[in-house]
């Protein structure tokens, strides 16, 4: 239900009427939505996902009179579930672009994670939580890890301790959830925390008929239905485990779908060799490896921690004209309860009729269609070049605008570098590394030249310089490809990934070249990558995601099983 297109009110049962207690109101204050304070005051139960950054969210809530209505609703102890920013807004204030005043219902200041203690910020990943009191809605979490994506967090204190129902450790011990009476809020994303799910599983487990099932939903405040279908014994064990052994962060395995239209006009998943996606046949057709929605659903079931869609011809097509891609996202998000990232073509655009679309509008449409994060390629390269040249942050680049409105945790920068060998590191002004495997003429060094337009054009900037610049401009994560390794199955470019993951304090996703389970453990043990992404081996069913995770676990690397 949480993946419904943002709506005012919807029902968990097709037959429910507005007077029915099973009607859930989803508070969506953004995107020109027309919600009013009355919608809140008349809600039977309210879910508040809270999207974007703290300041713009509070601004809208105040301007529309929603803040007052929300406070009244919560103070009356009516059923409420806040998610992520929907938790943070309950506190006194936030340091995000602030200080900014919050709803003031829970004492405390929402502050930024401290990256100086070695943790990457934003915090994007799967962590175990420690229950501190009966939270009712957390007792059914089937997985021992839940998904977080945030740069700011609230800290437990004497003043707010009566609210806290669970905490999590990520450098700091922070508040993972709060509960008082019927009011619940979670910092993590239950709707993205996978688990065996789902409504059906819960229903089956408790042998409920429709009526008692509906009561169950009401009683448990809706969200627990998003969690696993484990037996009570398993649930009990998992709860006990979390009390006793809260774990650290799990590494992530990401499945990537390179999507484009083939010569017949069908949207397909393709996969290139060093970015060349055409078959070496007389027809030279685009390699077709399946349908995007089907594959995404499959990878979710197989245990992928995230799924990425890259619209690889987005640089030349206008994404808002590419309705099938938006539809793919909508359908995929109905069946994938892990985070979805989408990239390709995110930039300002003027169409044939002279109508201008900002990159923010493009990104907003992707978010509305079900994306949790957007990924910017070419446009981030231009923004970084400009920034390095002028040393001025104009605030106008797509990267800056989108991260300002949606928060930097929602903005990934995808880098497409190509290795350029050097005999002497002083031959170029860009950062180079001593490579593990010398070049074709015995060169011992290389720099990594950034490219745009799907690797078609090299730019005068290195991956190292780009990564540092985009971090300063507001990127929350880096997707680090390598054209030389793409589709080769010989392993990730460890030299490159080490260079970049040591240079920035935001999370880095290692990509390109995975061919065996050992390649995943190698990248996690030799570099500071937070996640590893693969495409070809999953599409060709050479290595199942489950085997990758089992191998990592065997090697002592924490994963979400």
Contact call for residues 56 and 405 (beta carbons, < 8 A)? yes
Q: Nearest to residue 310, comparing CAs of 294, 296, 331, 300?
A: 296
Is position 398 an interface residue for ligand 1PR (rule: CB under 6 A)?
Answer: no
Binding mask 260-299 for ligand 1PR (x = CB under 6 A): -----------xx--x-x----------------------
Q: For ligand 1PR, which stretch binds (CB under 6 A), given 64-72, 160-168, 362-370, 371-379?
A: 371-379
Tokens 């969690």 correspond to: 227
Task: Tell me which of 28, 96, 172, 258 binds ligand 1PR, using CB under 6 A.
Answer: 258
Distance (Å) of CA 313 to CA 215, 261, 309, 310, 344 = 48, 8, 12, 9, 7
**Nearest distance, CB of residue 412 and ligand 1PR, angstroms:** 9
Distance (Å) of CA 281 to CA 113, 152, 269, 277, 371 = 52, 52, 19, 12, 35
Q: Which is nearer to ligand 1PR, 151 or 511 (CB)?
A: 511
Binding mask 423-462 for ligand 1PR (x = CB under 6 A): -------------------------------xx-------
3-class SS of residue 514: coil
Please list the active-site residues. 84, 189, 191, 258, 416
For the chain, what percentages of helix, strand and coil (3-state, to nearest 5) are there? 30, 25, 40
Contact call for residues 22 and 11 (beta carbons, < 8 A)? yes
What residues from 312 to 331 belong to the interface with ligand 1PR (CB under 6 A)? 312, 314-315
**Nearest distance, CB of residue 526 and ligand 1PR, angstroms:** 18
Q: Which is nearer to ligand 1PR, 27 or 534 (CB)?
A: 534
Q: For ligand 1PR, which stretch binds (CB under 6 A), given 83-91, 370-378, 497-505, 553-561?
A: 370-378
**Nearest distance, CB of residue 514 and ligand 1PR, angstroms:** 5
Q: Nearest to residue 336, comparing CAs of 376, 310, 313, 309?
A: 309
Instruction: Output b/e per residue, 121-154; b: 16+ Cβ within 10 A.
Output: bbbbbbbbbbbbeebbbbbbbbbbbbbbbbbbbb
Task: Tell me which of 471, 484, 486, 522 binds ligand 1PR, using CB under 6 A.
Answer: 486
Q: What is the DSSP string of 199-227?
A: HHHHHHHTT--HHHHHHHHHHHTTGGGGS
Give the tokens for residue 235: 């649930």
Residues β-bridged to residue 310: 258, 343
Q: For ligand 1PR, which stretch binds (CB under 6 A), given 4-12, 165-173, 369-377, 502-510?
A: 369-377
Is position 487 an interface residue for ligand 1PR (rule: CB under 6 A)?
Answer: yes
What residues from 128 to 147 belong to the interface with ligand 1PR (CB under 6 A)? none
Please report, as ranges, the residues that interact with ligand 1PR according to CB under 6 A: 256, 258, 271-272, 275, 277, 310, 312, 314-315, 343-346, 375-379, 414, 416, 454-455, 481, 486-487, 511-514, 533-536
């Amino acid at each position: 239900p949480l993946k419904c297109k943002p709506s005012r009110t919807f029902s968990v049962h097709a037959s429910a009427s507005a007077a029915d207690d099973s009607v859930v109101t989803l508070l969506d204050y953004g995107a020109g939505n027309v919600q009013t304070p009355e919608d809140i005051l008349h809600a039977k139960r309210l879910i508040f996902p809270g999207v974007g950054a703290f300041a713009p969210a509070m601004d809208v809530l105040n301007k529309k009179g929603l803040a007052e209505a929300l406070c009244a609703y919560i103070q009356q102890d009516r059923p409420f579930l806040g998610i992520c920013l929907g938790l943070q807004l309950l506190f006194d204030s936030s340091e995000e672009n602030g200080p900014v005043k919050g709803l003031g219902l829970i004492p405390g200041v929402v502050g930024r994670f401290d990256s100086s203690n070695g943790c990457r910020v934003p915090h994007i990943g799967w962590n175990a939580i420690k229950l501190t009191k009966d939270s009712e809605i957390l007792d059914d979490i089937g997985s021992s890890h839940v998904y977080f994506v945030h740069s700011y967090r609230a800290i437990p204190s004497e003043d707010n301790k009566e609210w806290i129902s669970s905490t999590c450790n990520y450098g700091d011990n922070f508040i993972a959830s709060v509960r008082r009476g019927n009011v619940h809020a979670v910092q993590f994303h239950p709707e993205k925390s996978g688990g065996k799910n789902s409504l059906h599983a819960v229903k089956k487990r408790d042998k409920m008929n429709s009526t008692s099932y509906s009561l169950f939903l009401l009683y448990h405040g809706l969200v627990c239905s998003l969690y696993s279908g484990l037996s009570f014994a398993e649930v009990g064990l998992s709860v006990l485990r979390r009390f006793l052994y809260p774990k650290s962060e799990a590494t992530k395995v990401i499945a990537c779908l390179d999507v484009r239209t083939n010569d017949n006009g069908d949207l397909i998943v393709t996969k290139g060799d060093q970015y060349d996606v055409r078959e070496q046949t007389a027809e030279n057709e685009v390699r077709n490896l399946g349908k995007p929605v089907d594959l995404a659903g499959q990878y979710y079931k197989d245990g992928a921690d995230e799924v990425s869609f890259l619209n690889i011809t987005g640089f030349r097509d206008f994404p808002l004209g590419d309705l099938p891609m938006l539809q793919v996202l909508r359908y995929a998000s109905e069946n994938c309860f892990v985070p979805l990232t989408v990239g390709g073509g995110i930039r300002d655009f003027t169409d044939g009729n002279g109508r201008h679309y900002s990159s923010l509008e493009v990104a907003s449409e992707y978010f509305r269609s079900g994306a949790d994060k957007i990924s910017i390629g070419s446009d981030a390269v231009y923004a970084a070049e400009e920034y390095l040249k002028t040393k001025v942050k104009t605030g106008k680049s797509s990267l800056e605008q989108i991260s300002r409105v949606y928060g930097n945790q929602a903005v990934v920068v995808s880098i497409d570098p190509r290795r350029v060998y050097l005999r002497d590191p002083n031959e170029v002004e860009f950062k180079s590394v001593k490579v593990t495997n010398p070049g074709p003429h015995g060169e011992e060094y290389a720099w990594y030249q950034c490219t745009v337009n799907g690797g078609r054009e090299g730019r005068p900037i290195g991956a190292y310089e780009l990564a540092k610049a985009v971090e300063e401009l507001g990127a929350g994560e880096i997707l680090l490809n390598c054209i030389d390794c793409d589709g080769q199955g010989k392993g990730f470019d460890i030299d490159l990934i080490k260079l970049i993951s040591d240079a920035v304090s935001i999370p880095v996703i290692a990509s390109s070249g995975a061919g065996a389970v050992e390649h995943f453990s190698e990248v996690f043990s030799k570099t500071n990558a937070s996640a590893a992404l693969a495409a070809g081996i999953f599409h060709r069913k050479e290595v199942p995601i489950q085997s990758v995770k089992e191998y990592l676990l065997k090697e002592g690397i924490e994963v979400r099983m």
